[in-house]
Amino acid sequence: MGLRIQMLGTGGAFAKKYFNNNALLYTDNQTLLIDCGVTAPISLYQLGKTWADIDAVLITHIHADHVGGLEEFAFQMKYIYQQKPVLYIAEQLVQPLWEHTLKGGLGQDGIECLEDAFEVRLLREGQRTPINSSLEVEIIRTPHIEGKNSYSLYLNNEFFYSADMTFQPDLLSQLVSERGCRKIFHEVQLIGQGIVHTTLDELLSLPSEIRSQISLMHYGDEMEQFLGQTAEMEFLRQHEIYTI
């Protein structure tokens, strides 16, 4: 497959010890940023990277821990690097991302819509979109907040990267048994009821052949209390690079 993924952060929306759950996906000749939350700029800085090191960004859904760094990204690319960054996004997210998240900060002379700030490339459900010669992306709408779209990712038809989502055992089973999925990065809520997230107990209810493919991310500050309690599943760590 030839992919490597580096977690800029692995924390949930309210985590303070861990950065927002964003990642850099490295292919043979490009770097794709998956989500760009509030802590993305400081995480990149700590890694010695700049916005110019990123070839494109892909957004899964519109919450601050996933899009809160886009304003800085757009401004730096425009005024410091004189480039318009590439943005991969589900077509259903274009209008709400601009109107409800970015317009208030980015809106000014010369930036009056999302397309003025980014080179927008639309993603559509049920379609595999080539990013480059070694990467293609399929978005899968997965439930998170009622009335708001959220899209998990299926990369190269074998790697599932979850957006924030409620428990979907049938989807996970189908991906593994019917679609050849061999690795899953899955969000997890460690304490409390999984009203808009997937809980650890729910993931533990999966068959071992599925659990063995899962790595856990988007967790809370209490993560270390759960070491050794996740069966075959391991916690991803921020700034670590994983080969997929």
> Digits of tens for pLDDT over the chain (244 positions)?
479 999 999 999 999 999 999 999 999 889 999 999 999 999 999 999 999 999 999 999 999 999 999 999 999 999 999 999 999 999 999 999 999 999 999 999 889 999 999 999 999 999 999 999 999 999 999 999 999 999 999 999 999 999 999 999 999 999 999 999 999 999 999 999 999 999 999 999 999 999 999 999 999 999 999 999 999 999 999 999 999 9
Instruction: Label each residue of the chain as H, E or C.
Output: CCCEEEECCCECCCCCCCCECCEEEECCCCEEEECCCCCHHHHHHHCCCCHHHCCEEECCCCCHHHHCCHHHHHHHHHHCCCCCCEEEEEHHHHHHHHHHHHHHHHCECCECCHHHHCEEEEECCCCEEEEECCEEEEEEECCCCCCCCCEEEEECCCEEECCCCCCCHHHHHHHHHHCCCCEEEEECECCCCCCCCCEHHHHHCCCHHHHCCEEEECECCCHHHHCCCCCCCEECCCCCEEEC
For 29-72, the pLDDT digits (tens) are 899 999 999 999 999 999 999 999 999 999 999 999 999 999 99
Contact in structure between 238 and 11 (CB atoms under 8 Å): yes
Length of the chain (residues): 244
pLDDT at 179: 97
pLDDT at 109: 82
CA separation for the pair 32, 34 (Å, rounded): 6
pLDDT at 206: 98
Q: What is the largest CA-CA distance in the chain?
A: 55
Distances (CA, A) of 134 to 25, 28, 156, 183: 11, 7, 8, 17
Sheet holding 128-132, edge to edge: 128-132, 135-141, 151-155, 159-161, 183-187, 214-217, 234-235
pLDDT at 2: 73
Q: Which domains does the chain have, with CATH numbers?
A: 4-236 (3.60.15.10)
pLDDT at 3: 92
pLDDT at 28: 84
